[in-house]
Chains A and B, each alone.
Chain A
Amino acid sequence: MHGGLASSTPPRSAGGPSPAEKPLLRFITCGSVDDGKSTLIGRLLYDADLAPDDLIAALERDSKKHGTQGDDLDFALLVDGLAAEREQGITIDVAYRYFATGKRKFIVADTPGHEQYTRNMATGASTAELAVLLVDARKGLLDQTRRHSMIVSMLGVRHVVVAVNKMDLVDYSQEVFAAIERDFRAFAAPLRFLSIALIPLVAKDGDNLVHASEKMGWYAGPPLLSYLENVALDDNARVLPLRFPVQWVNRPSHDFRGFSGFIAGGNVKPGDIVRILPAGRDTRISRIVTSDGDLAHAVAGQSVTLTLTEEIDVSRGDMLVSPVSPAEVGDRLSAKLLWLVREPLAVDKSYLLKLGTKTTPASVRKVSSHIRVESGLAEPLSDASATLAFNEIGEAELWLDTAVVCDPYADNRETGGFILIDRVTNETVAVGMVQQSTWTERSPRNGVEASYASMEGVPTPPREAGPTPLRSLVKALSWRVPGSLVTFGAAFVFTDDLRVSAAITGTEIACKIALYYLHERLWSRFRIGMKPTDDAGL
């Protein structure tokens, strides 16, 4: 019975897309303590009839024990998962919830409001496409709201919804709502969100969550759930230039050498020329290997294994990039940092920096500014001993022991974000975003040699660079010109006809230049018969 089933997979739905093919929206909810985030999610699941019956039964049980809503259901208990959280009635860590409606699949990260747990909130933000910011209608924008807006913007969230909650406590007033809207739009203007929407609601009663509120007829927009179902999302990762951080060298035998990784930008197909950074060498993609067969094309967001046409040394931490718009290589970074632990940043202390698949020792040479959460503006610091304390955001200069391949964070979230790790406690102490990078080693090739040498403790002899295509072309011409003169002379001697001789020579020039060029390029790929020193380091 079962074997037959497993081997054949008949199409399940004859018409319409299968439920598995729905688009996915990852969003985050954040706000201050008691803004009612957990209540909002709980009520949303309940109203949309997405919470399983036995969980509702557990909710009824727990509401009596820990609930803060008297005899009513305390929807927050549906999502506050840790015992400590339910006892204290606060959210400590980000909780992920999964639900689907007819239109979309959703992953929601419900994040803590306490400033103390900002790092957990930032964790949720880093994988979200949209943020729902909760604001208490009575209180308007708080520093915590501004702080959360800053952090979600910093971590790459491009869409925000401001849920103005507890509208019942301000008599469903349109004026109060309009004032909050004005404040927020003014504050958020420099944060570069692609879309901003504000929705007035009462989470505990469900007003404007799933169903439009009858009490706020003045609000013409959609309720929260239908907004989330319909908001247009930008998936621009695949139109970016190719970025392929090499994660793992796949070498099952001597016959196969593949590079496994996650495509962090752009797209790739066999035959494409790619540049290997930091080495700076160009080569070609041979195959895109998967267990379901080779692919003709792969795009950002896929995990694949690539093989190259040449035998070249590529290791974890290297990146294959588009030669037309390559990534940057740098050992000095200016970056924004959010400090995540109680022990403040120590200037000049050696941390580990992890960016993409590369980890290197690094130190912060200088904190050049603090970013004020209320305004979002950078305040320059002249004090050389300036540092960052728990939950502070600032701009800093970092010096790296070895160069990394990166992009400004604004260009690519995957190749511009990094973390700092304490070398003793192994804690993640900071999250950072590259603004600019520079390479102190002028010549790329010198830089490569230096880093290999420092890794293996032995100096590496200079490598023989292969001929460049231009050199091959010039060689083809310098060989062809005297050759063709001889051909013309010989043809004239035999035919005594200038036109025929010229035609023969012309044809020969065209064909043989191309032939010679191809012949030379072909030979340049093979190392057979080359002196062994030329292979050193490869």
Chain B
Amino acid sequence: MSVAAKTLGHLDKLEAESIHIMREVVAECERPVMLYSIGKDSAVMLHIAMKAFYPSKPPFPLLHVDTTWKFREMIAFRDRRAVETGMELLVYSNPQGREMNIDPTVHGSQLHTQIMKTDALKQALDKWKFDAAFGGARRDEEKSRAKERVLSFRNAQHRWDPKAQRPEFWRLYNARKGPGESLRVFPLSNWTEADVWDYIAREGIDVVPLYFAKERPVIDRDGMLIMVDDERLKLRDGEMIQQKMVRFRTLGCYPLTGAIESAAASLDEIIAEMRASRSSERQGRVIDHDGSSSMEQKKQEGYF
């Protein structure tokens, strides 16, 4: 066979890089965990983990930080994928938040995110003493993420210091840390939204059906189409449930995630629609718009 027999495409290179990162962290850290948020990025990350350690199972559990406000279809999908892959699935919700009955539509998105996501994540990592957590965040998603290292160091209080990040050279990751300190690891750092969908199509990866257009019950709230996923969503004056052909470009908590009107019901159609799109991916996420640098602030406080 000739040397040039196989040329590596862009997706092959990204996949090889992600696999290398995962193996490196598993080799150097004591208790890694994979944050599984059920979306398309998590789907790709889990798929790559299954490849990275084959024929072994990935030597870490999945952790889902459940805000209790996820779409029902996401939860069903999560449980099914855990069974299919044979991965151990840990689910954690902030018990104080549950007691307080935190409702993003009542308490606001900022408080909800702080208590049910940021605090919950820190509690979960402390509870199981995880020293490295894989996350599916990509640098092309948001400006402060564009600045983050592949291995992002967190102090014992889980804080990120964007002004003093460790330098990172070539493929040499410094995974060393003191007691209580931990790492957030982003194996998909260099992937774009387009890469993720191209890879999902190439590999035949299963994703939550909410990404595909379908008639769904939605209301128009503050310029966003919010899906009425259960009876907890209280209609305000003048709001009316409509059936619309919609789909989601990103998935989060249902009252905070805007749907887009779309007829794209297949992977091909989604990819075509994304390529023609004039807006960025996270436009539909309420929590990103609490101020131009709000993601950076959340990250400093320990948000993934």
Contacts and interface: CB of A to CB of B under 8 A. Distances in A.
Contacts of A8: 204
B30 interface: no
Contacts of B10: 20-24, 105
A79 B50 CA distance: 35
Interface in B208-246: 209, 212, 214
B281 to A, nearest CB: 8
A470 interface: no
A267 B8 CA distance: 13
Interface in B250-304: 265-268, 271, 275, 277-280, 283, 292-293, 296-297
B206 interface: yes
A6 B280 CA distance: 25
A81 B198 contact: no
Contacts of B128: none
Nearest to A93: B147
A426 B177 contact: yes
Contacts of A262: 16, 19-20, 171
A355 B173 CA distance: 10
Interface stretch (B21-29, B92-100, B129-137): B21-29
A2 interface: yes
Contacts of A297: 1, 5-6
A354 B169 CA distance: 11
Interface stretch (B64-72, B101-109, B118-126, B158-166): B158-166
Given A82-B162, A418-B172, A426-B174, A289 B209 contact: no
Contacts of A147: none
B54 A247 contact: no
Nearest to A417: B170
Given A53-B278, A123-B167, A301 B194 contact: no
B51 A291 contact: yes
Interface in B138-183: 139-140, 143-144, 146-147, 149, 162-163, 165-172, 174, 176-178
Contact of B268 (A10, A261, A302): A10
A139 interface: no
A7 B169 contact: no
B151 to A, nearest CB: 10
A315 to B, nearest CB: 10
A238 B3 contact: yes
A2 B268 contact: no
Give the contact-size bracket for chain B: 35 or more
Given A1-B212, A19-B194, A301 B8 contact: yes
A185 interface: no
A248 B16 contact: no
B168 A123 contact: yes
B174 A428 contact: yes
B156 to A, nearest CB: 13
A20 B195 contact: yes
Contacts of B52: 260, 303
Interface stretch (A95-103, A498-506, A509-517): A95-103
B166 A291 contact: no
Contacts of A12: 201, 268, 271
A250 B167 CA distance: 29
B55 interface: yes
Contacts of B12: 301-302
Contacts of B86: none
A114 interface: no
A153 interface: no
Interface in B55-77: 55-57
B215 to A, nearest CB: 12
Contacts of B163: 82, 84, 92-93
A19 B23 contact: no
Contacts of A352: 176
A99 to B, nearest CB: 9
B100 to A, nearest CB: 30
23 contacts: A6-B205, A20-B202, A54-B279, A80-B143, A82-B143, A82-B147, A82-B293, A93-B163, A98-B139, A105-B10, A107-B190, A120-B165, A123-B149, A126-B170, A247-B20, A250-B53, A250-B56, A260-B23, A291-B54, A297-B1, A303-B15, A354-B172, A426-B178
Given A21-B9, A81-B143, A426-B176, 10 more contacts: A5-B212, A6-B206, A8-B204, A18-B198, A84-B163, A86-B293, A96-B139, A123-B168, A252-B56, A289-B55
